[in-house]
Copies of this chain bind each other. A is one copy, B any other.
Amino acid sequence: MAQFSAACPLPTVTGETVLLAHGGGGKLTHQLIEKLFLPLFASSGLEARHDGAVIQLDAGRLAFSTDSYVVQPLFFPGGNIGDLAVNGTVNDLAMCGARPVCLSAGFILEEGLPVGQLRTVAASMRRAADRAGAALVTGDTKVVDRGKGDGIFINTAGIGLVETDLEIRPSSVASGDAVIVSGDLGAHGVAILSVREGLEFETVIQSDTAPLWESVRALLQAGIEIHCLRDLTRGGLASSLNEIAEAARVGVSIDEAVIPVTDPVRGACEILGLDPLYVANEGRFIAFVPDRDGDRTVELLRGFPVCSSATRIGRVEQAPAGLVMLRSRIGGHRVLDMLSGEQLPRIC
C-alpha cells in the first residue's frame, strides 16, 4: 500500500456505503483501490498501479476465459458471489486443461451498497484465488445509480497455462467414450433457491462452489486421454450434455439411476418442482474419456473430496447425432432436451 500522509488521514471505507463518486475515477475511486482492493489483492501485478498487469510467461498454449456473476442473494450457504466469481473462471480454465495463473476482477456496484459487504466479497475472492493457486492481478470498479444495478455484479477473466498436448474440446469426443460426472448434482441451485424463497430444509444444503483444477490435473498427470471437459453451471447436466452432443455431432446416452444426487437435494428438488439434471452446479464437471480410461478416471476423481461421488453415467454413441437419450429409473428411454425457458434466474 502507498503511504498516506499523517497530516491528511483518509477515513476508513468500512461502514460507509458506496457512492457514485467511488466509480468516478477521482479521490474516492483511488481510496477504494488503496484502502480496500490493494491490501486484499496485493500482488506484483496490482502493486504497479498501472492500467494493466504485465506477466512473464513461457511459450505455450494459454487458455483465456471470462464470466460475469449476477447471483442473488449475494451471500448463500456455502459461499458468496466472490467465491463463485473466482471459482467459476478458474473452472472454465481447468475445463481447457489449463492451470489458472492470473485473474482480473471487474466490479459493477450499486450506489448505496454497504462497503463492508464489498470487503467481505473481495476477501472471499482472495481466499478462493489462493486456494486455486491464481493471483488477482488487475481490476476495475464502476458504480451505477441506485436502482440501476443490484448490489454487486462481478466479472472475472482468467489466463491459464494449458498443461497438456491433448485437444480437450467437444470435437475430440468420439463414439464409445465414457461419460463421467465428477460428483452429486444440484446443490448450488438448491442452496440459492432455498435462501431466495426463505425455505428451510432439515439439512442446510450448501453450494458446491469449488475449484476443480487439482482434480483435472490429476487426470492429466495420470495420462488419462481426456477428450472433453465441461463444468455444469447454468442449465445443469442436461444442457451441457446437449451442447457437447450438438457440437461434436454425436449421441450421448446416460442412465438416470446412477446419476449422483444426494437425498436432501433430491427431496428439495421434489418440493421445489425442479429436475436436478437441469439445476446449476458450481463445482461439478463432466469428462469424456475413452472407454478404457473410464474406471480409472472415476477412481482418480474420487480421491478428491470435491469429486468423492464421481460416477460413470453413460457413453457416447454414433447416433442419433446431437441428441441426449436418458434411460429412466423405470427403464424407458426419452430424449433429454436442453433447458427450455428459465428455471432459476440469476443462479450465478
B contact residues around A58 at 8 Å (CB):
59
In the complex the two chains form, is B230's CB within 8 Å of A51's CB? yes
User: Chain A, 165-179, contact with B by CB distance < 8 Å: what is the 0/1 string?
Assistant: 000011100000000
Q: Which of B61, B67, B150, B229 contacts A149, CB < 8 Å? A: B150
B contact residues around A95 at 8 Å (CB):
50-52
Q: For the complex formed by this chain, how many copies does it contain in all?
A: 2
User: Chain A, 61-99, contact with B by CB distance < 8 Å: what is the 0/1 string?
Assistant: 111111111100000000000000000000111011010
Interface: A30 (CB within 8 A) = yes
Known contacts: A2-B246, A346-B144. The answer to whether A108 contacts B20 by CB under 8 A is: no
Interface: A131 (CB within 8 A) = no
In the complex the two chains form, is A24's CB within 8 Å of B235's CB? yes
CB of A97, distance to nearest CB on chain B (Å): 8
CB of A157, distance to nearest CB on chain B (Å): 3
B contact residues around A221 at 8 Å (CB):
none
B contact residues around A57 at 8 Å (CB):
57, 59-62
Known contacts: A106-B67, A148-B149, A246-B2. The answer to whether A52 contacts B235 by CB under 8 A is: no
Stretch in A197-205, A296-304, A337-345 touching the partner: A337-345
Interface: A243 (CB within 8 A) = yes
A297 vs B67: C-alpha distance when bound (angstroms): 39
In the complex the two chains form, is A51's CB within 8 Å of B231's CB? yes
Known contacts: A57-B62, A338-B30. The answer to whether A98 contacts B52 by CB under 8 A is: yes
A105 vs B157: C-alpha distance when bound (angstroms): 9
B contact residues around A138 at 8 Å (CB):
64-66
In the complex the two chains form, is B65's CB within 8 Å of A104's CB? yes
Interface: A15 (CB within 8 A) = no
Interface: A155 (CB within 8 A) = yes
In the complex the two chains form, is B169's CB within 8 Å of A29's CB? no
CB closest chain-B residue, reference A147: B147
In the complex the two chains form, is A20's CB within 8 Å of B342's CB? yes
A interface residues (Cβ-Cβ under 8 A, vs B): 2, 19-21, 23-30, 45, 48-70, 91-93, 95-96, 98, 102, 104-108, 137-140, 142-145, 147-150, 153, 155, 157-160, 162, 169-171, 229-231, 233-236, 239, 243, 246-247, 278, 280, 338-346, 348
30 A-B contacts, Cβ less than 8 Å apart? A19-B342, A21-B341, A23-B70, A23-B345, A24-B341, A25-B236, A26-B234, A26-B339, A26-B340, A26-B342, A26-B343, A27-B341, A29-B234, A29-B235, A51-B91, A51-B93, A51-B96, A52-B64, A52-B93, A52-B98, A52-B158, A53-B63, A54-B64, A54-B162, A55-B64, A56-B62, A67-B140, A140-B155, A144-B150, A155-B155
Assuming A20-B345, A51-B96, what are 11 further A-B pairs, CB within 8 angstroms? A21-B341, A25-B234, A26-B338, A28-B341, A50-B95, A51-B65, A57-B61, A68-B107, A108-B155, A142-B153, A144-B150
- Nearest 4 A-B pairs (CB), nearest first? A25-B234, A26-B339, A52-B65, A25-B235
